[in-house]
Amino acid sequence: AMAAVRDAEIAPEGTFKYIVVRLQRPGGGEQRDIVRGTAAAQFHNHIFEKVKPEMEKLGYECKCLGGGKIDHNSKDKKIRVFGLSTGYGKADHSVTAEILKKVYTDYEITWSDDKK
């Protein structure tokens, strides 16, 4: 069932906020991290508030590991991960980049700890 959850779901274009969410089966056991980002979210917690009930329905406990911003250029097939979340702290962008590479296999994906 955990395999049914997509590694990454991000907006198709533009610069937007994202978070890394750790999914875990109650009582420990299997866990994995997923990336979610959307241009619709004004704040990082708006993303988590949407993801959490979806994942709880599937039987997972969720924890937000941090956030940042993604700049997604679908025309040039480039994704840049940067920035931080005031509420959740900075996600490990190197981990985010690795997760995104699983989904966007033909993209150039870079990350930095720059704020902009």
Residue 24 to residue 29: CA distance in whole angstroms:
7
Burial class (CB in 10 A: 0-12, 13-18, 19+), 4: exposed
Asked if 44 is an active-site residue, the reply is: yes
- 116 known ligand binder: no
Extract the tokens encoding 27: 């009582």
- Catalytic pick among 44, 46, 72, 93: 44
Residue 96 to residue 19: CA distance in whole angstroms:
9
Which residues are designated catalytic? 44
Residue list for the binding site: 17
Binding-site sequence positions for substrate: 17
